[in-house]
A and B are shown apart, each in its own frame.
Chain A
Amino acid sequence: MTFFMKNTNLIKPFGLLFLFCFIPFWAFSQNITVKGVVTDVNGESLLGVNVRQVGTAIGTVTDIEGRYSLQVKKDAKLLFSFVGYINQTVNVDGRTTINVSLKEDSKTLDEVVVVGYGTAKKSDVTGSIASINEKTLKEVPVSNIAQAMQGRIAGVQIQQTSTRPGGTSQIRVRGTRSLTASNDPLIIVDGIPFGGTFNDIAPDDIKSVDILKDASATAIYGSRGANGVILVTTNRGNYQKATVTYNGYAGFGNVAKKYEVFNAEEFLQMKSQPGTTWPLLSQEEEGKTNGTDTDWQDLMYETAIINSHDLSFKGGSENLSGSVGLGYYNETAVLPGQGYKRFSVRAAMDYKINNWLSFGLNTQNAFGITNGENANYMFNMLANSPLVAPYNEDGSIVKKPHDPREDSYSPLLAKDSSTWTQERKRISSLNSIYAEIKFLPELKYRVNVGLNYSHDDYGDFYSSESCFKSGGLSSASTSYTTQYNYAVENLLYFDKTFNQKHHLGATLMQSVEDTYYQYSSLAGSNMTADYMQFYNMGMAIDGVAVDASKQKYYRKSLLSYMGRLNYSYDSRYMATVTFRSDGSSVLSKGHKWHSYPAIALAWNAKNESFLKDNSWLDVLKVRVGYGQTSNQSVNPYSTLGSLSQNKYNYGNDYVYGYYVSSLPNPEVGWEYTTSYNAGIDWAVFGGRISGNFDVYLQKTHDLLVDQSLPASSGVSGTILVNVGKTENKGFEMALHSQNFVANKSGDFTWDTDFNLSLNRNKLIELNSGVTEDEGNGWFVGHPIDVIYDYKKIGIWQTAEATEAAKYSCKPGDIKIEDHNDDGKIDATDRYITGQFEPDFEFGFTNRFTYKNFDMDVVTYGQVGGTLVSTIHQPQAYINRLEGRRNNLKVDYWREDNPTNAFPRINSAMTDTYYSTLGYYSASYWKIKTITLGYTLPEKLISKLKISGLRFYVTCNNVATLFSPYMNNAGGVDPQPTGYFTTENGGGKQESRQLTVGMNTPPSRQFLFGINFKL
């Protein structure tokens, strides 16, 4: 197809993004002289912008005032390109003055990326590094950037670990590789290793996030690089005129979808089923007579309020740049007692003393308060009978709406904040200082000193009258965690080009890092006065427990040496060689040191003579890399053996006992990951479409595994051993397309970001010869996290009664696949029926502008994989289908309802097969955020004597599409609500796995915001 284009610069964006055609058209005509000024969007002139007539070699660059002048044909097209800005093409159309304002875009291929211990031009990078800039992060206004990063980067899987305000996220870079050690990536903030959570940094303070994905890039972090490295760069000042920026939004949120439970009529129907032996309670009988139909959720849910305000000052002079910022964030939840609040203060300064010496510092301080982080009354709410009236006639709360045997109080009591509290106050301070000396133009020395501190104060209190204690003794507990660390890094940089073609860069580093940790906790029972909450544990009438296993201290140290060499020839061939040596305190003597090599090569094909003049190809670079890294997650002192405490009393003489619970282990080393990566970076049509592809293979060996000893060794605990292998391989793709670009300010534009990634995880080997470790849910030849269980194939139907009886089942019971066809269902019929890992994940973001309006739509999703819905499993007690409590509204079997979905109501149910009711396809496509913004026109802005003002409205958590879990099983959201813990009920999943449980339902938020710049 051919499109004739005159005044508009259109491309065909429909259909698949990478399949559009683009053939320019131009005619011959006379030469004219075109002049103009190139500025950025703020009106600052740009020096050195490349102005070129498309399709020719004619071109120039702008001068210090941004001016250019060029002789071109009347109907020529001009391409304006500049590092860090979006290319712009303009039709001359006979005009002689063309002023252009270029939009900043750190996505362009020549942006500078942070590579660890320095930066590099993206075109010179040899490893696999993904970057995400401030603007992209801000498209999703949330309390921490991990949430904003979800679905935005190929190969980086981010999942929430709680649906409550202040919850954190689990981040996995290219899958999981470790069985018992941590799979969390290393986080570096402004060059300094960071031990906190992303809640410690206000999203507004973050300038960019760079993620090192392959070992050729992460090997410079050696013993901590195996799980990927996230480099966070925070905002600093500028060496220019002062600016004041205010970014703020406020809004509200409501429950996006309620849990579906039976209403009164449906509840009565369940109760009338032949299988139940639970008659109506007296209060239910009353409710039945009175026509009571209580929706406990409606009574409990509230509107969440969200507030975020961020003010920053930036400015400086020729030698000094500084910035100061203040932030406030406050979010309440849809359930009482939960919320998250943060105050943050930051400052950064850079000072160039003279042409060879400079220094600077950066400090980030946050004070966060999390309320109700895990106290859970969801069961109390959902399992409550709809036939029971929530309030007495006088308006007071019915205290005991439940079965008297359970003796528990109404969840409505949770609304009275004086009956309970759960609060975590965290103060964190991240500080980094550097000094830099330039000995020679090509030789530079830098020292970085990092000083980090964080302190958590936790307290909880549940009064006797709360729904958590239901008349039992009140209880309170407090704990604190203090963590501080320092890091000193000495760095030497060398950078020189020889004979114009040989470019050599070298980095040498030596560092020390020391981390201290302290934790202490107290628990008291029967507090003297409720109003004291947890503030005086000495007044616990029944005493205070200071559990020896809950008092902790450790110190761990890391010594490192690192060297990196970058060489490039003629900007065509590039090589990076890295070597790092780490010594760690946590390993056994004699196993403390290890060295990590890595090498990466890149070929910039576009710079070859045969492609140099190609008009549509802008970038073509091929990368390959190899490297070794490891995982440092061995707990301090775990090689020394330890004792555990128990307690005893000789009459009233209370004493502590100790016994050996783990033996010394002289031979623990780290687990190693060797990784291979190959990738292509490309851009075509003047950068209008760009992207990259990567494939990788990672092999992890000497896995750290806690090995139990037989009880006959006299020691119950485990020892850490290095056994086993895992493997991850995968494919990643990122695309950026400018579907519509503006000819002139105000034209319609449309940009698209698309990423897709898939990972295949596999357990290659366990301890010698073991192929199945059922206790931990590990199976050789399968991914680390799988579903190993019976397979439900339906429900036994009336016509199948005879067949069912063979398996001791009745019509209405769960029909389990007789996997081994031996005519009976027993433990040997369990097999791997699903896995947590999806087939692939994707992110899809579209941005539009027209005149002064802008809009972006952020979406992401996954295809394949199994989610575990623990609410459908028996341990959550709201889908037991026994007719005792209220139940999830599921399609259960009756003689007149021969469904294959859920079994009959049955008081004598056995738990064995009910876990099979909790497995669903994890596919979904979530429209996370839609934002509509309006920027005040320049005329008005300049009249107001400000630099910018934008208003916007955002909807968060807009919709979830194509989720079989939500559509078929009444699920609330396919995203996990937390780790599978014993709280959810000791079923068939492992505590490390993220599952969908009974937690605060996600809310849909509407936010109204302002971006103001003075």
Chain B
Amino acid sequence: MKKNKYISLLLAATLSLGTISCSDMLDEEPKSTLTPEFFQTAQGLQAGVISAYSGLKWLYGPDGALCFTVAGTDEFTSTNAMNGTLGSFDTYDNNLSSSNGSVANYWGNGLQFINTCNGAIQYGETASGLTDAERKALLAEAHFLRGYYYYLLTMYYGAVPLDLGSGKLKFNTTPTTTSVRDSRSDVLAAVIEDFTYAKENLLDKPSESGRVAKPAAMHFLAKAYLSRATMEGAQSSDYQSAYDEAMNLINNLANYGVSLTKDFANVNLEGHENDPEVLFNVQRTWTSSGPNLTFDESNDGSFAVSNKGNRANFYFTSGYENVKVQVGTSTKAVVPRNVTYQRPWRMIMPTKWLIFDAFADKVNDSRFDGSFRTEWLAGIDFTVKGRTVKTGSLAIKLSLNNTETTAAEDSVASTGVIYKPYALYYWGMLYNADGTYKNGDVQYIYPDLKKYDDTKRSNMNYDSNRPFILARLGETYLIAAEAAMYLNKKDKAKDLINVIRERAAYRSNLTDAEVAVRKAAMDITESNVTLDFILDERSRELCGESWRWIDLVRTGKLLERAKLYNLKAKANIKDFHLLRPIPQAQIDLLSDPSQKASYQNPNY
């Protein structure tokens, strides 16, 4: 009996151990991850808006993004180092296809953060825990960012879906494999609505650097109207609306704390990314003492994060390190790779048209010198033909006026490079007489776009940590001028353009009197005001600043100008290239065969 008692006790004890096992053990409670319900809280909504800002890093700075925005235009073309899928944005060859990864970057990130903004807008109205001011700011920023992403998508891809699975402009929370694209005019209408909402609700001045405020909304609203005015769905009032929105900003600069920078050379200089001229930028973590790599999400050092680094500083940099001299038994770079002159990836180079036609005047107009580098200082001591060059003195010079020449004995026959004692390249070594590009080493040297120079990196091969400027007041004047031109107010257009041109006449080393003379020389008359002139002016002011491809598309000038000025694009570019291909993965993953069949843009 005693034995049985123990047994039953033990059995009861062990069985009870086993039966703690009720089914609620099978319910899951995550602790280290967030689930989509987080978006219904105030904290979640604010985090959503932050992530939508951060998403822009993917679109401005990484490899593919840079090719996407400026290559293949009249301004910039590819070198022989940029080939394959990246180069196809310049050459419009078969690699510019639906399987091109850069095409998927814009499409995928755009829609991802549009949905995030949808969530913020949808739940932002009702979420508890927000003050009225916070709620207003949150909704306004979410509307602005959604408008911004949709504007990019529709300009690049044409029709894009407004319904992601849970209804038009609604936050999608269900796995869905169907999709219908909405027409560009519907999308632009939604964009204009979003920017309008943002303009009405944003603060006049940003509460912090990098946050969007009213001026940015006005700038992009004007740009959206101007875009629609020349595209499908155009409204007769669009030019006027564009003009009004831009002028509303220009006429009230003091209200918004916005102003033009005095010296063009400082507009894109590092450290000036949050100046009063800048209306909107993608923040990064540059400071004069170095970046905060943790938050920068660049690929530097041990902080390797996805592909969000800003490589604009590599892309436009020529191969200066390839100019070599004989030192003893070996050849050495006269300007070794260094952090001042950036990592020489030499991917994108200016077209001949940009350097010689757009910037025909490099004297009165300070913008060529403010945008490009043509001289490089020696990084080593070296001797050529008995002439010694010391570290820090001029080592490479690219002569663009072709006037500087020298005796034949100074040249090195095998390369054609002239040493006097610095290495002199002249423009004729870059281009053949017909404007085609020369191959070989000489192509290593071309004017470096220095707008993205970043000298505060800890290693010369690291990405840039500078904020990327997306809108600045200088462009607002040109938007207003363009609208005025279409409205036939050429005098207004002339005045607006002259503001920008006169600013460009200024150089810090000139006296006031000298500047005054140059300003006068820069001024244009009403008769100068044409669409082509405005596009040229945009190049002088904005070259390399990520909008050229869209600007040429919305003005209907891409084909004409790419064929005229971009010899690599000339051969292949066709009408259908006015739209980017829809990524193949998007189409492959659709489950409805009829949607699959009709989803792609024509000819891709």
Contact = CB atoms under 8 A, between A and B. Distances in A.
A583 B22 CA distance: 11
A664 B3 contact: no
Interface in A638-696: 639-643, 645-660, 663-665
Nearest to A641: B36
Contact of A714 (B17, B54, B115): B115
A715 B172 contact: yes
Interface in B559-600: 583, 585-587, 589-590
A472 B115 contact: no
A280 B27 CA distance: 66
Given A585-B27, A641-B36, A658 B112 contact: no
Contacts of A658: 34, 38, 44, 47-48, 50-51
Contacts of B38: 643, 658
A585 B22 CA distance: 12
B302 A649 contact: no
A714 B283 contact: no
9 contacts: A283-B330, A435-B10, A490-B14, A559-B23, A586-B28, A650-B211, A659-B112, A709-B177, A712-B179
Contacts of A407: 337, 460-461
B459 A472 contact: yes
Contacts of B118: 714
A270 B3 CA distance: 88
Given A642-B35, A643-B35, A713-B176, A584 B26 contact: yes
A138 B165 CA distance: 61
B32 A554 contact: yes
Contacts of B260: none
B18 A583 contact: no
Contact of B297 (A404, A557, A646, A650): A646
B60 to A, nearest CB: 13
Interface stretch (B103-111, B247-255, B519-527): B103-111
Contacts of B279: none
B36 A664 contact: yes
A664 B21 contact: no
Contact of B14 (A447, A523, A649): A447
Interface string A608-638: 0000000000000000000000000000110
Interface stretch (B192-200, B285-293, B394-402, B422-430): B285-293
B356 interface: no
Contacts of B209: 650-651
A514 interface: yes
A413 B297 CA distance: 30
A808 interface: no
Contacts of A471: 459
Interface string B266-305: 0000000010000000011101001011111100011100
Contacts of A286: 329-330
A525 B28 contact: no
B408 interface: no
Nearest to B165: A713
B586 A660 contact: no
Nearest to A587: B26
B283 A543 contact: no
A922 to B, nearest CB: 31
B328 interface: yes
Contacts of B35: 637, 640-643, 664
B34 A643 contact: yes
Contacts of A652: 287
Nearest to B172: A714
B407 to A, nearest CB: 28
B52 A657 contact: yes
A719 B177 CA distance: 11
B516 interface: no
Interface string B235-262: 0000000000000000000000000000
Interface of B: 3, 6-7, 10-11, 14-15, 17-18, 20-21, 23, 25-36, 38-39, 44, 47-55, 104, 107-108, 111-116, 118-119, 161, 164-165, 172-177, 179, 208-211, 274, 283-285, 287, 290, 292-297, 301-303, 321, 327-333, 336-337, 458-461, 583, 585-587, 589-590
B210 A708 contact: no
B5 to A, nearest CB: 13
B124 to A, nearest CB: 15
Given A651-B283, A710-B585, A660 B14 contact: no
Given A285-B329, A512-B20, A542-B290, A716 B119 contact: no
A711 B25 contact: no
B210 A650 contact: yes
Given A642-B34, A647-B295, A710-B586, 7 more contacts: A282-B329, A542-B290, A559-B23, A559-B25, A647-B294, A650-B283, A663-B175
A437 interface: yes
A637 B28 contact: yes
Contact of B175 (A285, A511, A711, A719): A719
Nearest to A663: B175
Contact of A477 (B20, B32, B302): B302
A81 to B, nearest CB: 40
Contact of B329 (A289, A640, A649): A289
Contacts of A583: 23, 26
Interface stretch (A333-341, A544-552, A829-837): A544-552
A391 interface: no
A641 B201 CA distance: 33
Contacts of B460: 407
A215 to B, nearest CB: 24
A432 to B, nearest CB: 15
A334 B3 CA distance: 63
Nearest to B114: A714
A498 interface: no
A451 to B, nearest CB: 13
A510 B18 CA distance: 7
Interface string A703-743: 00000111111111001000000000000000000000000
A584 B23 CA distance: 9
Contacts of B458: 472-473, 526, 542
A356 B210 CA distance: 77
Nearest to A584: B26
A544 B36 contact: no
A35 interface: no
Contacts of A557: 25-26
B39 A660 contact: yes
A998 to B, nearest CB: 20
A473 B459 contact: yes
A488 interface: yes
Given A439-B7, A584-B26, A711 B583 contact: yes
A281 B161 contact: no
Given A279-B331, A651-B210, A711 B48 contact: no
A511 B18 CA distance: 6
A405 interface: yes
Contacts of A656: 47, 50
Given A643-B35, A719-B175, A405 B321 contact: yes
A445 interface: yes
Contact of B112 (A447, A559, A716): A716
A475 interface: yes
Contact of B18 (A280, A488, A639, A709): A488
Nearest to B107: A711
Interface in A470-502: 471-473, 475, 477, 488, 490
A663 B327 contact: no
A503 interface: no
Given A405-B337, A657-B52, A525 B303 contact: yes
A844 to B, nearest CB: 46
Given A542-B293, A543-B292, A559-B23, A356 B3 contact: yes
Interface string A549-564: 0011111010100000
A744 interface: no
A490 B18 contact: yes
A775 to B, nearest CB: 8
